[in-house]
Structure 1
């Protein structure tokens, strides 16, 4: 039925995920303790750690990393739970579900660019208020205001714009697995309102389903590189950005303290996840008397409007971020404090058309290949579940989440070292393989619920009519699941488009994509060209989601 034998599909899939991560971690661990023969380091020592600890600004970078990571995750989770608590029983939930697809489709780097254009001292928000409200005829010179502020506020805001929709999406999936209607009816009979029902009955069962996504969000916020390069502090930067700078230093021996910094970041992420989980367990223990006390709380209206206000703010900022990128990409002359460009032009696009087409081709080919492989492996694993009547759960789900839980820079550095050693760096297959590590978990998770809830009687009817298993799969089951498959493909392609570090390390500069080119341009000051690449980066996954929506509607009709 499938090219991959079903019996071996789960083991082969886990091997594809775990082997490169393990090899990459080893490739990071050895240089962190002084062994990197390519630079003449052939004796194990603690010299890389001494060099790392002697770096000026290290502790500031550590503190900044922890602050932005925990603040982003807490803010995103609070917004997610607030929206779910106020909307799980109302028509607003359907509206939220519809607005999530475009938010999830936009790559985080594109959102960061747009937000930077929006909140900069010469950004769109200030232009709207100037000069009639502020009196400013020139951009204000406020220390710490706007992108790259030293406190990381803009970085937290940019990360929240991406993590809150992701956690909300996972929360909606979690709600679908719970008997919400029955619990709500029971709670109403006991005198609980919607907010009290969610907090006391639904949330204790929902949060365990959100635990792994929250860990993934926390790890991402602690170790993100591309967003931090675009909108995060720079003097000093977060630890992940600093490690990347050392790795790219022309002095090759700097890769030893870079490896130590990456290992430190990995330990920091593990400790942070453990700290978060301990805090959640402590919070659950402290809240137990309130949960079983029987009090019927109020304040539902205030919580509802506060949550909806926060949700609308995220949606508005994301929409404005994309809009301002689009405006800049067609602007010729746009002096401050004008709200709109004085002159419009297509020259920004025409001047980049050759490079843009090449970057787009690289992005599409790698994304399609990685997503196709991820789809094949996911379907094989899920069909194995059906045949063996087992579920890919428990420890296996943790293993599936491993590429999302382990910091990218923590093992990609080692993978790059191994690729160089094996003369495989800069190859198209190596690039597809590294993208597959991050695309596969999302494709599998997107397909799992529709596949597991598919009514087996359709296939049994086909078999009873004399159809073979393979024909029943291709002619009955797969066409009926065409909509979920299309959505999973769109999700996987969007994840591939957004990859920066995997492309940077595995591509070795020979395969540039829209994302790597856009982040590289972030160090420049030409907003018009940055706008062109950011719009192109946002358009590719959005087109993928529109195609998936068209396929799903066509199947329904």
Structure 2
């Protein structure tokens, strides 16, 4: 009985500790952002409240354009991604084509955003792989064309780069919600009434599915409207998006610019709030449109063109990411590669040999921070789920909101304040501070990845063990955890990939003294050293891939004689 009580007491600390890690730094960071925004930061001579920082912010050239770019980027990329996923599932769920595309798209979730952005840039640049493949035969180009494809003022390249990366995320989230509706029966009913596949899905199944993924869509909007690393690689620079300009002001040698950066962080928060408000309005308009189409009896029987278009866009999004990764690998090994040759004239290991000594320190920091933050996130998630099992409460919508809190609140809105707080505590540029900053973003993904498999576990196994006199510790470590080895390792791989891809938390909390593969790769974005960029971005992509390979391989090895547990 004591061991049982001990396990319960240990599990009891999980939820409050998790809540403190998720909400505490965000609230403290927001406070540390609001005070300097209104002029109060004694460390820099700000002892009186005022609105001078906001006046200076509004006087910045192009600030309205930067805010508008952030707003349109968030809405356009999220809207296009969700539309592609919705039409694809509506038209192809349950088919062989659906299974093939799903098997291609799912692994791409592990690719960090910066690595995918670099690969996309290497594809669409005027001297990129796509231009080489069609030149000079289809274009007549014998030298790179003078076209502003990357970093275009409208942010089209940025939107496209975000879409191809967010489509895998929204697809997997939607697939997790799909069992909530009886898709086969729903489709049969719609077909019997003469509705096409897409119309039947939108009218009958989509409302229930969307309610399950709504917070995930909000997270995508908030991320796209405030992303920094992808915007540096693909976004415009005259002016840049608001988040990119904020980071520049925060790192300005003129320390008074930190007041302006804090005011800008609140503006970024307002931009994200406006994007979410506009999205909610769009939800209502779409709901009314759907109701109007239902009332008119619009059946959309001839939807083959729309279905095949969705299949093409979904396949293209996966193919673009894969082709970009191929481009990264080619550039990391390329010798002489003049335009318009489709492949390098020679391949060599010299770029790797020259770069690897410089990579060792960022690589070590990346691996250590990712491993430790992932381990803590998995441990806290297991404690929360054990507590949930004891109390019988699933947490509900409020708990889920807290899980999504670090994903919905823009990073720049609270990381500036968190950096000020860490500076006052002497915590900036320390490895524990870096791990804590990563943990804030790793923990939600680990919890969301592991919670459903944990709740789906058949508790009759534990009941049998209890009937045989086994204590809870023994049951946990001998039955539940081994049977959930694959979901636990998969959740850990997801958390590891999230940590590897963290740019802004590493840049601000690490203060440039704890570089990682991601920060070093993004720092090279403004240069022309494609071989070096290719090496760093390829390593950034390779690390999460290794994590997922371990998550797949270890259960297969441990349970090679138990097919059901592999």
What is aligned with 2:111? 106
Question: Following the alignment from structure 2 to structure 1, what is the Cα–Cα distance between the partners of residues 127 and 159?
Answer: 20
Q: Following TM superposition, where does structure 1 have runs of at least 4 consecutive aligned residues deviating by more than 4 angstroms? A: 1-4, 292-295
Contact kept? 2:428, 2:511, Cα under 8 Å = yes
Shift of 1:346: 0.6
Range 545-554 or range 516-525, more displaced: 545-554
What is aligned with 1:316? 319
Which of 33, 43, 56 aligns to 1:38? It is 43
Question: Following the alignment from structure 2 to structure 1, what is the Cα–Cα distance between the partners of residues 455 and 44?
Answer: 51
What is aligned with 1:78? 83
What is aligned with 1:329? 332
What is aligned with 1:153? 156
1:360 counterpart = 2:363 = yes
Q: Which digits, 9 at most, give the CA deviation of each residue in 1:343-381, with x for residues without a partner?
A: 221111111112212211111110011111110111111
Range 57-66 or range 435-444, more displaced: 57-66
Q: Give the 3-state SS of the residue equivalent to 1:195 in structure 2.
A: helix
Q: Equivalent residues in 2 for 1:496-511 (5 A)?
A: 496-511=499-514
How much is the aligned-residue C-alpha RMSD, in angstroms?
1.5
1:454 counterpart = 2:457 = yes
Shift of 1:504: 0.7
What is aligned with 1:138? 143
Contact kept? 1:2, 1:380, Cα under 8 Å = no
Which of 342, 347, 355 aligns to 1:344? It is 347
Which of 5, 9, 18 aligns to 2:10? It is 5
Contact kept? 1:89, 1:194, Cα under 8 Å = no
Q: Which digits, 9 at most, give the CA deviation of each residue in 1:225-247, with x for residues without a partner?
A: 00001111011100010111111
Which of 240, 246, 251 aligns to 2:243? It is 240
What is aligned with 1:164? 167
Shift of 1:271: 1.8
Tell me the TM-score normalised to structure 2 length: 0.95
What is aligned with 2:433? 430
Shift of 1:337: 1.3
Question: Following the alignment from structure 1 to structure 2, what is the Cα–Cα distance between the partners of residues 520 and 502?
Answer: 15
1:27 counterpart = 2:14 = no
Shift of 1:542: 0.8
Question: Following the alignment from structure 1 to structure 2, what is the Cα–Cα distance between the partners of residues 444 and 128?
Answer: 43
Shift of 1:494: 0.4
Which of 493, 496, 502 aligns to 2:496? It is 493
Shift of 1:99: 2.0
Q: Give the 3-state SS of the residue equivalent to 1:296 in structure 2.
A: coil
1:177 counterpart = 2:218 = no
**Cα separation, partners in 2 of 1:367 and 1:3, compared to 1, 3 Å:** farther
Q: Identify unmatched segments of 5+ residues in structure 1.
A: none
What is aligned with 2:3? none
Shift of 1:456: 0.3
Q: Equivalent residues in 2 for 1:100-499 (5 A)?
A: 100-142=105-147, 145-499=148-502
Shift of 1:74: 0.9
Question: Following the alignment from structure 2 to structure 1, what is the Cα–Cα distance between the partners of residues 242 and 352?
Answer: 35
Q: Give the 3-state SS of the residue equivalent to 2:396 in structure 1.
A: coil
Which of 87, 90, 95 aligns to 2:100? It is 95
1:56 counterpart = 2:61 = yes
Range 348-357 or range 72-81, more displaced: 348-357
Shift of 1:552: 4.2
**Cα separation, partners in 2 of 1:190 and 1:132, compared to 1, 3 Å:** closer
Question: Following the alignment from structure 1 to structure 2, what is the Cα–Cα distance between the partners of residues 177 and 427?
Answer: 45
Question: Following the alignment from structure 2 to structure 1, what is the Cα–Cα distance between the partners of residues 191 and 483?
Answer: 38
Shift of 1:195: 2.1
Question: Following the alignment from structure 2 to structure 1, what is the Cα–Cα distance between the partners of residues 18 and 7?
Answer: 14
Question: Following the alignment from structure 2 to structure 1, what is the Cα–Cα distance between the partners of residues 226 and 61?
Answer: 20
What is aligned with 1:65? 70
Shift of 1:8: 2.9
Question: Following the alignment from structure 1 to structure 2, what is the Cα–Cα distance between the partners of residues 77 and 366?
Answer: 32
Shift of 1:183: 2.7
Contact kept? 1:116, 1:146, Cα under 8 Å = no
Q: Give the 3-state SS of the residue equivalent to 2:335 in structure 1.
A: strand
What is aligned with 1:519? 522
**Matched length:** 555
Question: Following the alignment from structure 1 to structure 2, what is the Cα–Cα distance between the partners of residues 404 and 156?
Answer: 19
Shift of 1:82: 1.1
Which of 5, 20, 24 aligns to 1:15? It is 20
Shift of 1:166: 0.7
Question: Following the alignment from structure 2 to structure 1, what is the Cα–Cα distance between the partners of residues 211 and 448?
Answer: 16
Q: Give the 3-state SS of the residue equivalent to 1:332 in structure 2.
A: coil
Shift of 1:470: 0.8
Contact kept? 2:121, 2:234, Cα under 8 Å = yes
Question: Following the alignment from structure 2 to structure 1, what is the Cα–Cα distance between the partners of residues 19 and 168?
Answer: 28
Q: Identify unmatched segments of 5+ residues in structure 2.
A: 1-5, 560-564
Which of 544, 549, 554 aligns to 2:552? It is 549
Question: Following the alignment from structure 2 to structure 1, what is the Cα–Cα distance between the partners of residues 288 and 126?
Answer: 45
Contact kept? 1:4, 1:380, Cα under 8 Å = no
Range 495-504 or range 269-278, more displaced: 269-278
Question: Following the alignment from structure 2 to structure 1, what is the Cα–Cα distance between the partners of residues 100 and 145?
Answer: 38
Contact kept? 1:101, 1:545, Cα under 8 Å = no
Contact kept? 2:33, 2:413, Cα under 8 Å = yes
Tell me the TM-score normalised to structure 1 length: 0.97
Q: Give the 3-state SS of the residue equivalent to 1:491 in structure 2.
A: helix
Question: Following the alignment from structure 1 to structure 2, what is the Cα–Cα distance between the partners of residues 284 and 415?
Answer: 40
